[in-house]
């Protein structure tokens, strides 16, 4: 395996980590706000805050890791994506700021501000949309080179059905992932009401997730036929992903083994995510940028990989400690008083 592939796999893995933890976070914010307006706030807010408060900052680092890493391994992405993404990413940053400050401001300062909760919930829905623009652009057809500089055609972008399908999928997937996770978490906390509510949401969002995913594959068949062909070649990966999806839904429907259901869901999304990533190979931005012509020099690549391994040696035990203390600690999950900040 060459360094380019290793580099993109490391980054893709971190992006996947971010997609999962951020989906839980974004979706939770939405359910929190929604149930507040439906007068069911008391059911969910405790569960959600208990899980999210200690980890929101860690969630954010996954994202930082990805964008620092991609500039490190593939510096040319800074030139192509940096120039074209100014507006969508700036909006995403503003939304992230609303979310980041919400946790601190809300949980330590003014509790129960409805407007803030609403903005927070909305930010959770808009963020996946603004980030998923990057995926759309990477398919090609929206960026043209003018005087040697990449320029994004906004009209083309916003009038394309592909854009909107990806936006819709990202939003629905966020709600689905988050609902499955929170069902499991609420069940661990022995909170029957919250479990039932989240189970209902999980089942509601399951079908749309798979329908939009299939729709995108269909649209790619004429937007980027090369990518579509490579996806068809990997049909068994997506097929396996679909089977895992069925298994997750069945478990949740039968109210059995929520932990396993969440594990299967991770498997489902991992297969789809990596299948998508592999079929995108070798392009970072179709057709201008491949992982080969944007890759950094060997010295830097090796230095980054060494730093990465050393960093993981510190990080994995720390993350394990964090999970043991909060995610897998019965006392904490049930909201034992001793653990309040």
Region for 244 from its dihedrals, namely left if φ exceeds 0, alpha if ψ lies in -120 to 50, beta otherwise: alpha
Instruction: Report the residue from 2, 37, 38, 57 that binds other proteins according to the rule CB under 8 A.
Output: 57
Structure tokens at 199: 């189970």
Min. distance of Cβ 97 from other proteins in angstroms?
4
Instruction: Report the residue from 2, 37, 83, 207 that binds other proteins according to the rule CB under 8 A.
Output: 83
Query: Of 51 and 245, which has the nearer Cβ to other proteins?
Result: 51
Query: Of 96 and 210, which has the nearer Cβ to other proteins?
Result: 96
Count other Cβ atoms within 10 Å, centred on residue 121. 24
Task: Return the DSSP state at 339.
Answer: G
Structure tokens at 158: 């916003």
- Interatomic CA distance for residues 21 and 99, integer angstroms: 14
Q: Does the footprint of other proteins cover residue 89 (CB under 8 A)?
A: yes
Does 130 sit behind a cis peptide bond, omega within 30 degrees of 0 on the bond before it? no
List own/partner pairs for 292-297 with CB under 8 A and 24 or more apart: 292/4, 293/76, 294/74, 294/75, 294/76, 294/77, 295/3, 295/4, 295/7, 295/73, 295/74, 296/72, 296/73, 296/74, 296/75
Write the CB contacts of 172 (distance below 8 Å, at least 6 apart in sequence). Answer: 205, 208, 209, 212
Q: Does the footprint of other proteins cover residue 79 (CB under 8 A)?
A: yes
Query: Of 260 and 306, which has the nearer Cβ to other proteins?
Result: 306
Query: Of 50 and 223, which has the nearer Cβ to other proteins?
Result: 50
Stretch that binds other proteins, among 87-95, 127-135, 155-163, 275-283 (CB under 8 A): 87-95
Stretch that binds other proteins, among 73-81, 160-168, 192-200, 214-222 (CB under 8 A): 73-81
Cα four-point dihedral sign 114, 117, 123, 124: negative
Count other Cβ atoms within 10 Å, centred on residue 122. 15
Q: Does the footprint of other proteins cover residue 104 (CB under 8 A)?
A: yes
Helices then strands, each counted (H, E), the chain:
14, 4
Q: Does the footprint of other proteins cover residue 82 (CB under 8 A)?
A: yes
Min. distance of Cβ 199 from other proteins in angstroms?
27
284 phi/psi in degrees, rounded to 5: -100, -35
Query: Of 221 and 336, which has the nearer Cβ to other proteins?
Result: 336
Instruction: Report the residue from 13, 17, 67, 215 that binds other proteins according to the rule CB under 8 A.
Output: 67
Report angle CA 275, 174, 142 to the nearest 5 degrees. Answer: 60
Q: Which of positions 300-329 make contact with other proteins (CB under 8 A)?
A: 300, 303-304, 307-308, 311, 314-315, 318-319, 321-322, 325-326
Stretch that binds other proteins, among 62-70, 128-136, 158-166, 173-181 (CB under 8 A): 62-70
Q: Does the footprint of other proteins cover residue 60 (CB under 8 A)?
A: yes
Contact predicate 81/149, CB 8 Å = no
Specify burial of residue 314 (Cβ count, 10 A radius: 0-12, 13-18, 19+).
exposed
Task: Return the DSSP state at 68.
Answer: H
Query: How many chain residues bind other proteins (CB under 8 A)?
Result: 69
Stretch that binds other proteins, among 36-44, 184-192, 224-232, 292-300 (CB under 8 A): 292-300
Query: Of 218 and 320, which has the nearer Cβ to other proteins?
Result: 320
Query: Of 74 and 201, which has the nearer Cβ to other proteins?
Result: 74
In the shown chain, the binding pattern of residues 128 to 167 toward other proteins, with x for contact by CB under 8 A and - for none, equals: ---------------------x-x----------------
Interface ranges with other proteins (CB under 8 A): 53-55, 57-58, 60-61, 63-65, 67-69, 71-87, 89-91, 93-94, 96-97, 100-101, 103-105, 108-110, 149, 151, 296-297, 299-300, 303-304, 307-308, 311, 314-315, 318-319, 321-322, 325-326, 332, 338-341
């Amino acid at each position: 395996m060459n360094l380019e592939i290793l580099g993109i796999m490391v980054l893709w893995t971190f992006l996947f980590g971010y997609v999962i933890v951020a989906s839980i976070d974004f979706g939770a914010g939405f359910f929190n706000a929604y149930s507040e307006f439906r007068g069911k706030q008391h059911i969910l807010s405790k569960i959600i805050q208990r899980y999210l408060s200690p980890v929101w900052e860690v969630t954010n680092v996954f994202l930082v890791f990805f964008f620092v890493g991609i500039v490190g391994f593939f510096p040319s992405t800074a030139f192509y994506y940096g120039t074209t993404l100014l507006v969508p990413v700036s909006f995403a940053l503003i939304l992230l700021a609303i979310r980041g400050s919400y946790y601190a401001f809300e949980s330590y300062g003014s509790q129960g501000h409805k407007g803030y909760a609403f903005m927070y919930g909305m930010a959770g829905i808009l963020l996946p949309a603004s980030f998923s623009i990057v995926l759309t652009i990477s398919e090609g057809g929206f960026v043209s080179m003018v005087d040697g500089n990449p320029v994004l055609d906004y009209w083309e972008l916003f009038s394309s059905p592909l854009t909107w399908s990806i936006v819709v999928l990202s939003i629905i997937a966020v709600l689905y992932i988050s609902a499955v996770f929170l069902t499991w978490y609420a069940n661990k906390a022995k909170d029957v009401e919250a479990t039932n509510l989240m189970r209902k949401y999980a089942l509601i969002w399951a079908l749309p997730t798979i329908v939009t995913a299939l729709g995108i594959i269909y649209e790619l068949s004429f937007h980027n036929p090369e990518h579509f062909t490579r996806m068809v070649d990997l049909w068994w990966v997506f097929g396996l992903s679909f089977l895992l999806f069925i298994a997750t839904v069945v478990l949740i429907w039968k109210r059995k083994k929520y932990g396993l259901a969440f594990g299967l869901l991770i498997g489902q999304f991992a297969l789809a995510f990596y299948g998508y990533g592999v079929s995108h190979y070798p392009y970072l931005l179709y057709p201008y940028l491949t992982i080969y012509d944007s890759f950094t020099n060997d010295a830097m690549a090796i230095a980054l990989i060494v730093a990465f391994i050393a960093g993981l040696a510190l990080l994995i035990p720390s993350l394990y400690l964090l999970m043991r203390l909060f995610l897998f600690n019965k006392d904490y999950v049930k909201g034992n008083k001793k653990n309040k900040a």
